[in-house]
Amino acid sequence: MSGYMLSDDGKLFVQAAREFAEKELRPVVAECDRSGEFPLKLYKRAAELGLSSVEIPEEFGGPGLDYITVAAMYEEIGRIDAGFGVSMGASSLAFKPVLLGGTPEQNRLYAESIMAGKFAAFCLTEPNAGSDAGAVATTAVKKGDGYVLNGSKCFITNGGVADLYTVFASTDPALKLRGLSCFIVEKGTPGLSAGKEENKMGIRLSNTTDVVLNDVHIPAGNLVGKEGRGFILAMKTLDSARCSLAPFAVGVARRALEEATAYAKNRQQFGKPISSLQAIQFMLADMAIRTETARQMAVHALTLVQEKRPYGLDGSIAKCYSADIAVQNALDAIQIMGGYGYSRDMPAEKLLRDAKIFQIFEGTNQVQRAVIASHIIR
């Protein structure tokens, strides 16, 4: 498979990500997946190695990596544990609206926090505002020289572990979408708390909680950009974040192919390895075709992001396709492993549980198909 066209430096970064994932992450994955434990020490270690700050621009102290190198690194992490990648990536997701609309001081706050191994959380979703993100009911009311926030967010990645919360709230409910604004809320601000932690079917190494805002007073300087810019900042963030989410799903798809191949070469039936059966070979070939196609689609979308060309359509295709094929590859890996694939002692069932989330978050795959269709019929 052709993989990624990387520079010599890029190859070294990807090698470092692979070694971390293989040698340090892999040994703890099964136990954390079972218990739901958040492996904080390992996240700190990933930050020490610079893995959590790969998307931070050079001007704020980041490594200034090109997006293709970042994609290849994310694939290596996703291959070993998608949940670990999702929690790492969620800090970059929370930073993006600030990069798009924030002041240099706000940018430095996020960059320094993430580089120090801390977490950030992107707080958009609410119980009644999922796909319909514009239905956000959290309010931000101007008081003195600041704002008072009230509301409740749900399904927030890093909700229970973040130091910085990027919160979308309405400064003018009558204006609906155009009344949404974006704010920074720091951990420890009175009235901010993490609510119920989700007991998820997959990506169990990531932390997902409700986030409750109860009379949270923040200074006016914590507004990101201008009042009423929140919806645009959220949508632009999600548009570009989808492109960098796809490589984690590609990592899951690749792992499913690797596990299925190793099993098929080893498993003997009718006196020969099942990998000699054309029925199995064709399944493996289809898994490889899907993995490489998704990888190249992600590379293409990220190249558009890097070159500052329109990427909305390509990002939706990359996100939607990589999620669908991660699920299909995990299902096929289970099928190739037969009854053993259905056992929790084998890795394929975890890959299926992990893959499924990519069809749901950062815009469900139905919503992505609606976006893609709107580009086609426009």
Ligand X SMILES: Cc1cc2nc3c(=O)[nH]c(=O)nc-3n(C[C@H](O)[C@H](O)[C@H](O)COP(=O)(O)OP(=O)(O)OC[C@H]3O[C@@H](n4cnc5c(N)ncnc54)[C@H](O)[C@@H]3O)c2cc1C
CB of 40 to ligand X, least distance (A): 18
Q: Binder to ligand X among 131, 268, 281, 374 (CB under 6 A)?
A: 131
DSSP 8-state class, residue 126: B
User: In this structure, which amino acid lies at residue 301?
Assistant: A
Of the candidate spans 120-128, 179-187, 279-287, 324-332, the one that interacts with ligand X by CB under 6 A turns out to be 120-128
Using the rule CB under 6 A, is 207 a contact of ligand X? Answer: no
CB of 74 to ligand X, least distance (A): 16
Whether the CB-CB separation of 207 and 158 falls below 8 Å is answered with: yes
Using the rule CB under 6 A, is 87 a contact of ligand X? Answer: no
Rounded CA separation 30/312 (Å): 36
Q: Which of residues 313-372 bind ligand X (CB under 6 A)?
A: 357, 360-362, 364, 366-367, 370
Whether the CB-CB separation of 99 and 107 falls below 8 Å is answered with: yes
CB of 202 to ligand X, least distance (A): 8
144: left (phi over 0), alpha (psi -120 to 50) or beta: left
For ligand X, the closer of residues 56 and 372 by Cβ is 372
Q: Binder to ligand X among 50, 61, 117, 130 (CB under 6 A)?
A: 130
Whether the CB-CB separation of 306 and 296 falls below 8 Å is answered with: no
Using the rule CB under 6 A, is 122 a contact of ligand X? Answer: yes
CB of 123 to ligand X, least distance (A): 6
Whether the CB-CB separation of 102 and 224 falls below 8 Å is answered with: yes
For ligand X, the closer of residues 239 and 259 by Cβ is 239
Tokens of 165: 């919360």
Of the candidate spans 56-64, 70-78, 155-163, 290-298, the one that interacts with ligand X by CB under 6 A turns out to be 155-163
DSSP 8-state class, residue 129: B
> Quick check: helix, strand or coil at residue 31?
helix
Residues sharing a CB contact under 8 Å with residue 35, sequence separation 6 or more, in sequence order: none
For ligand X, the closer of residues 328 and 364 by Cβ is 364
Q: Binder to ligand X among 29, 54, 68, 156 (CB under 6 A)?
A: 156
| Annotation says 362 is catalytic | yes
Using the rule CB under 6 A, is 125 a contact of ligand X? Answer: yes
Using the rule CB under 6 A, is 200 a contact of ligand X? Answer: yes
User: How many residues bind to ligand X according to rule CB under 6 A?
Assistant: 21
CB of 370 to ligand X, least distance (A): 5
Q: Cβ-closest residue to ligand X? A: 130
Of the candidate spans 17-25, 117-125, 183-191, 213-221, the one that interacts with ligand X by CB under 6 A turns out to be 117-125
Residue 75: how many other CB atoms lie within 10 Å: 30
CB of 239 to ligand X, least distance (A): 14
Rounded CA separation 86/206 (Å): 7
Whether the CB-CB separation of 217 and 188 falls below 8 Å is answered with: no
DSSP string covering 201-241: SS-TTS-EEEEEEEEEEEEGGGEESSTT-HHHHHHHHHHHH
Using the rule CB under 6 A, is 124 a contact of ligand X? Answer: yes
DSSP 8-state class, residue 24: I
For ligand X, the closer of residues 32 and 264 by Cβ is 32
Rounded CA separation 217/234 (Å): 22
For ligand X, the closer of residues 138 and 291 by Cβ is 138
Tokens of 355: 């893959």
Binding site for ligand X (CB under 6 A): 90, 122-125, 130-131, 155-157, 200, 203, 208, 357, 360-362, 364, 366-367, 370
Instruction: List residues with catalytic annotation.
Output: 362
